[in-house]
């Protein structure tokens, strides 16, 4: 709302019968901004009464606080997610063999960022447009205390982030560790926090009427950059069908782990590998009804998560056995060398991930193991 001194002056001048035009002119000559003068005059109704009649305040309550809290919360989320996508792009552009990540984890992280931006960014733009329109229609909203407090809280975090970023740059420079990846990420953090700091500091001190063209241009540039990063992430993230196929293949590997564990249980307790999976399940359940068995030996024998058909099992010579499964897509984009799928006390069994879809078989050797002491 308008300055208290200004409101008191306008109230007294109106009470003495001065016209609004003369009051406006006098305050202009005194150096008051036009928008603040109009706010102060607008605080009193233009009706014929012995004393100035104040207008009711139609903002500043819970509704305005709700809009600004959601708006600035979305701003923080968007800044974080845009920075995350930009970091992922830097990691791909300047790949470092010392800092490799699991591609499945990276894809999952990118999906979260894309989902957050696809949902949150349009809402953020809409709220920004709506709040700006409300301020243009009633200029007194520009000095709303709710808006001022939330703006400066946001600026505090942006300033601290920018200062911390600069400290990290200087620290790494003194340590001789200014690598390309680090510098690129430091620049990204500096640009994001600096843009927030510049735009909202300027907006908090802005008193002019009309469209905020610098802010609008910044919003267009930010939208284009965000859209480019989202499209780039889409090129790396699986389609929903592809993601489901990958999850099913991961479950198939986990199921093979369970079956391999049970074959080892059968070898441990019966000194031979089972003839088939049904015979193995029946024998282990009969044993468990009489004597304690090790963990995992009585787990249900899993079937294919998609077709519900049993996995292929074949008894081989010398305690060897073969497990087969049909994979939907395999792991064409990963290093398909040995991937652990079974860890026991006495051995570490590994399967080689199939690089493509189709039937894949794994020849394994059953291993005896000692049950846990408490078992």
List helix spans (H) across the chain.
Answer: 4-15, 20-29, 34-42, 62-93, 103-137, 145-174, 180-205, 213-236, 240-270, 277-290
Q: What is the pLDDT of residue 160?
A: 84
Q: Which residue would you say has higher pLDDT here, 212 or 125? A: 125
Write out pLDDT tens, residues 336-356.
Answer: 554 544 444 444 567 788 888
**Spatial separation of the C-alpha atoms in residues 148 and 196, rounded to whole Å:** 15
* Angle at alpha carbon of residue 344, lines to 352 and 279, rounded to 5°: 85
**pLDDT over threshold 90, residue 321:** yes
Extents of the domains making up the chain:
4-54, 62-237, 241-365
What pLDDT does 177 receive? 58
Averaged pLDDT of the chain: 81
Residue 334's pLDDT is 63
pLDDT at 144: 65
Express each pLDDT in 231-247 by its tens digit.
Answer: 998 887 777 788 788 88
The predicted structure's pLDDT at residue 305: 92
pLDDT band at 125 (very low <50, low <70, confident <90, very high): very high
Q: Which two tokens stand for residue 126?
A: 């809409």
Specify the higher pLDDT residue, 140 or 3. 3
**What pLDDT is attached to residue 329?**
87
Whether the per-residue pLDDT at 142 is higher than 80: the answer is: no
**pLDDT for 1 beyond 70:** no
Residue 141, classed as helix, strand or coil, is: helix
How high is the pLDDT of residue 372?
45
Question: Mind listing the pLDDT tens digit for each residue in 84-105?
Answer: 898 888 888 877 655 555 556 6
pLDDT at 315 over 50: yes
Mind listing the pLDDT tens digit for each residue in 54-86?
876 655 567 777 888 898 889 989 998 998 898
More confident residue, 67 or 230: 230
pLDDT band at 138; cut points 50, 70, 90: low
What pLDDT, on the 0 to 100 scale, is given for residue 124? 92
DSSP string, 296-358: TTTSPPPB-TTT-PBPEEEE-STTEEEEEEEESS--TTS--SEEEEEE-SS-EEEEEPPSSSE
At residue 121, the pLDDT reads: 94
pLDDT of 143? 58
pLDDT for 189-228, tens place per residue? 889 888 988 888 887 766 565 677 888 898 899 999 999 9
For residue 170, the model assigns a pLDDT of: 77
* Of 310, 296, 228, residue with least CA distance to 265: 296
Confidence band, pLDDT 50/70/90 cuts, at residue 304: very high
Residue 375 has pLDDT above 50, yes or no: no
**What per-residue confidence (pLDDT) applies to 181?**
77
pLDDT above 90: residue 153 = no
So what's the pLDDT on residue 183? 83
Q: How confident is the model at residue 39 (pLDDT cuts 50, 70, 90)?
A: confident
Torsion of CA 31, 32, 37, 43, to 10 degrees: -140
């Amino acid at each position: 709302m308008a300055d208290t001194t200004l409101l008191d002056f306008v109230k007294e001048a109106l009470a003495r019968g001065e016209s609004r035009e003369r009051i406006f002119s006098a305050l202009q000559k005194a150096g008051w901004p036009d928008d603040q003068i109009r706010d102060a005059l607008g605080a009193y109704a233009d009706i014929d009464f012995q004393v100035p009649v104040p207008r009711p305040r139609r903002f500043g309550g819970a509704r305005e606080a709700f809009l600004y809290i959601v708006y600035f919360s979305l701003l923080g989320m968007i800044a974080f997610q845009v920075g995350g996508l930009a970091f992922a792009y830097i990691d791909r552009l300047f790949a470092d063999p010392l800092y490799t990540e699991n591609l499945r984890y990276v894809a999952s992280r990118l999906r979260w960022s894309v989902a957050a931006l696809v949902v949150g960014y349009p809402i953020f733009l809409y709220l920004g447009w709506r709040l700006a329109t409300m301020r243009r229609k009633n200029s007194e909203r520009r000095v709303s205390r709710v808006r001022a407090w939330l703006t400066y809280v946001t600026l505090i975090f942006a300033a601290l982030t920018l200062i911390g970023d600069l400290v990290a740059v200087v620290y790494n420079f003194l340590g001789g560790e200014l690598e390309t990846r680090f510098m690129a990420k430091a620049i990204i953090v500096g640009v994001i926090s600096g843009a927030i700091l510049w735009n909202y500091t300027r907006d908090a001190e802005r008193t002019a009427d009309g469209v905020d063209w610098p802010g609008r241009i910044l919003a267009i540039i930010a939208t284009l950059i965000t859209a480019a990063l989202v499209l780039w992430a889409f090129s790396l993230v699986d389609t929903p069908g592809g993601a489901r196929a990958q999850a099913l293949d991961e479950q198939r590997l986990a199921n093979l782990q369970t079956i391999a564990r049970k074959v080892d249980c059968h070898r441990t307790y019966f000194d031979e590998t089972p003839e088939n999976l049904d015979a193995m399940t029946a024998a282990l359940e009969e044993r468990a009804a009489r004597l304690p068995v090790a963990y995992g030996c009585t787990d249900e024998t899993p079937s294919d998560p998609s077709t519900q058909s049993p996995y292929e099992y074949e008894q081989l010579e010398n305690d060897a056995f073969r497990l087969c499964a049909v994979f939907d897509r395999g792991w064409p984009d990963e290093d398909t060398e040995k991937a652990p799928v079974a860890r026991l006390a006495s051995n570490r069994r590994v399967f080689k991930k199939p690089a493509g879809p189709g039937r894949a078989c794994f020849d394994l050797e059953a291993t005896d193991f000692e049950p846990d002491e408490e078992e």
